């Protein structure tokens, strides 16, 4: 466990050093294919060589195939402290808007296979919730916003292939990690009542289902 923590700390340092520089230099990088590829290299140190995510001591999300608008919004959310994560705050804070847009567009084009690893036997229940919601708890079908294939649209994120433990972590801690800056309107408020209304077994089932989708 200590080695995994050390690995996370070293990767965080790598991000901070590699992405820090003068504003003028970042502006040049934003228009440079070489600069974009250099930043992508830092992202892949944590998110995986194909941006498929990393299932370790702390689950690191899949970025591959994600909606560009959503990725841009989330990177700005870290910068504006709407979303909590000290590592990602340092990473996002050193990126200008042009670089953020370039990175988001690049990750959308990737489509590695899902990592998988979810427990067997609960995905069927997750499929039912995803497609039909939980009427008794006034929870709408996930597919209504995320699409029948869970690929998302615009600011609505792709869930297909997302790491099982990461989906659980986000839904469980939604109100502690999202919408944390009351001065700035945050689209994450849409999900707050849904995350709050789902039970832990229901969250795990949905996470298992979407984690296997391609």
For 163-175, what is each residue's pLDDT tens digit?
A: 999 999 999 999 9
- The answer to whether the 2-108 and 123-211 domains have the same CATH topology is yes
Superfamily for domain range 2-108: Cytochrome c-like domain (1.10.760.10)
Amino acid 164: pLDDT: 98
* pLDDT tens string 81-107: 999 999 999 999 989 999 999 999 999
Sign of CA pseudo-dihedral 94, 98, 101, 103: negative
User: Among the listed ranges 18-22, 120-124, 177-181, which one has the minimum average pLDDT value?
Assistant: 18-22
Q: Which one of 3.40.50.1010, 1.10.760.10, 3.40.47.10, 3.40.50.2300 gives the CATH number of domain 123-211?
A: 1.10.760.10
HSE toward the beta carbon, residue 172, CA cutoff 13 A: 13
Residue 20: count other Cβ atoms within 10 Å of its Cβ.
13
| CA separation for the pair 118, 164 (Å, rounded) | 6
Q: pLDDT class for 6, splitting at 50, 70, 90? A: very low
Nearest to 36 by CA among 105, 111, 96, 103: 103
pLDDT of residue 35: 85
pTM (2 decimals)?
A: 0.84
Q: Where are the domains of the chain?
A: 2-108, 123-211
């Amino acid at each position: 466990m200590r080695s995994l923590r050390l690995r996370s700390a070293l990767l965080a340092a790598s991000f901070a050093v590699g992405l820090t520089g003068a504003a003028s230099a970042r502006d040049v990088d934003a228009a440079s294919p070489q600069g974009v590829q250099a930043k992508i290299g830092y992202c892949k140190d944590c998110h995986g060589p194909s941006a498929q995510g990393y299932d370790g001591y702390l689950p690191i999300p899949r970025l591959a195939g994600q909606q560009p608008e959503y990725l841009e919004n989330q990177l700005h959310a870290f910068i504006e402290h709407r979303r909590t994560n000290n590592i990602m705050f340092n990473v996002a804070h050193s990126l200008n808007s042009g670089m953020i847009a370039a990175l988001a567009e690049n990750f959308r084009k990737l489509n590695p296979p899902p990592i998988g690893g979810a427990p067997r036997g609960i995905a069927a229940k997750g499929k039912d919730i995803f497609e039909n919601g939980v009427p008794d708890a006034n929870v709408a079908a996930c597919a209504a916003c995320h699409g029948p294939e869970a690929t998302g649209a615009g600011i609505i994120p792709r869930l297909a292939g997302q790491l099982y433990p990461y989906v659980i972590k986000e839904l469980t801690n939604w109100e502690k990690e999202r919408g944390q800056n009351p001065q700035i309107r945050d689209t994450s408020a849409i999900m707050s009542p849904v995350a709050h209304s789902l039970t832990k077994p229901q969250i795990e089932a949905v996470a298992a289902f979407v984690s296997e989708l391609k």
